[in-house]
């Protein structure tokens, strides 16, 4: 399967997926990495793995619609079977999301449906939660609202900083995201009528 990864930053989840492809655990290949930030460290990771990269900076475009039209064209050039959003910090328009319906997944650093949006670790701490985590979900037009495929849970301890919690969550992200990509590439995972099916059974 042809995997296209969209990033904006460090790309540690991209790295985890690259590693799982290299070791043969994922029956697929990362055929491209697109970043909206020219200085994203994930671009270095992609180049080191011999993966093609593209930068599409928003400054070149007057509106979200124009940016997303260019992004869609660029994405289509890679002919992806699966689009993986890995720390891509832009909201995607409905047209683009619909185009990749059932073929685009995202990882969000919270136990969805809790804490959609930003600053999830601090919000979980401020709420006094003892548990937090990350969720992999299919992307739908509802921001951070698509059906959840897999979650990982981590504890929050008294006195934890947001950075400490973030590190704990990220370590789990690097397990669950490659696993979901693996399932998808094995043809085991589908979105059917807005719900997740794994091995033909509804989750």
Active site residues: 108
What SS3 string covers 7-68?
ECCCCHHHHHHHHHHHCCCCCCEEEEEEECCCCCHHHHHHHHCCCCEEECCHHHCCCHHHHH
Residue with tokens 């909206």: 36
170 binds ligand GRF (CB under 6 A): yes
Is 12 a binding residue for ligand GRF by CB under 6 A? The answer is yes
State yes or no: residue 51 binds ligand GRF (CB under 6 A).
no
User: 4-32 burial string, b = 16+ CB within 10 Å, else e?
Assistant: bbbbbbbbbbbbbbbebbeeeebebebbb
The answer to whether 21 and 31 have CB atoms below 8 angstroms apart is no
9 part of the interface to ligand GRF, by CB under 6 A: yes
State yes or no: residue 36 binds ligand GRF (CB under 6 A). no
| 133 binds ligand GRF per the rule CB under 6 A | no
* Residue 122 lies near ligand GRF (rule: CB under 6 A): no
Question: In whole angstroms, what separates CA 193 from the centre of its chain?
Answer: 21
C-beta neighbour count of 41 within 10 angstroms:
16
- Is 80 near ligand GRF (CB under 6 A)? no
To ligand GRF, the closest distance from the beta carbon of 20 in angstroms equals 14
52-60, 70-78, 94-102, 107-115 -> range binding ligand GRF (CB under 6 A): 107-115
What are the structure tokens assigned to 70, written together? 């260019």
Of 11-19, 27-35, 123-131, 181-189, the segment contacting ligand GRF by CB under 6 A is 11-19
Q: Which stretch binds ligand GRF (CB under 6 A): 8-16, 17-25, 59-67, 149-157?
A: 8-16
List interacting residues with ligand GRF (CB under 6 A). Answer: 7, 9-14, 42, 86-87, 107-109, 134, 170, 173
């Amino acid at each position: 399967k042809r995997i296209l990864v969209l990033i904006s930053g460090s790309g540690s989840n991209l790295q985890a997926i690259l590693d799982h492809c290299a070791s043969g655990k994922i029956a697929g290949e990362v055929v491209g990495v697109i970043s909206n930030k020219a200085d994203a460290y994930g671009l270095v990771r992609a180049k080191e793995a011999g993966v093609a990269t593209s930068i599409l900076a928003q400054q070149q475009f007057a509106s979200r619609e124009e940016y997303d039209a260019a992004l869609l064209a660029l994405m289509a050039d890679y002919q992806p079977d699966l689009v993986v959003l890995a720390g891509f910090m832009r909201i995607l328009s409905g047209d683009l999301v619909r185009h990749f319906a059932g073929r685009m997944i995202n990882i969000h650093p919270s136990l969805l449906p809790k804490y959609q949006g930003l600053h999830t670790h601090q919000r979980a701490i401020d709420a006094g939660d003892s548990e937090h985590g990350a969720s992999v979900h299919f992307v739908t037009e509802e921001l951070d609202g698509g059906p959840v495929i897999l979650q990982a849970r981590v504890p929050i301890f008294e006195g934890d900083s947001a950075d400490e919690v973030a590190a704990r969550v990220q370590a789990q992200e690097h397990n669950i995201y490659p696993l979901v990509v693996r399932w998808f590439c094995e043809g085991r995972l589908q979105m059917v009528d807005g719900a997740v099916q794994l091995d033909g059974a509804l989750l």
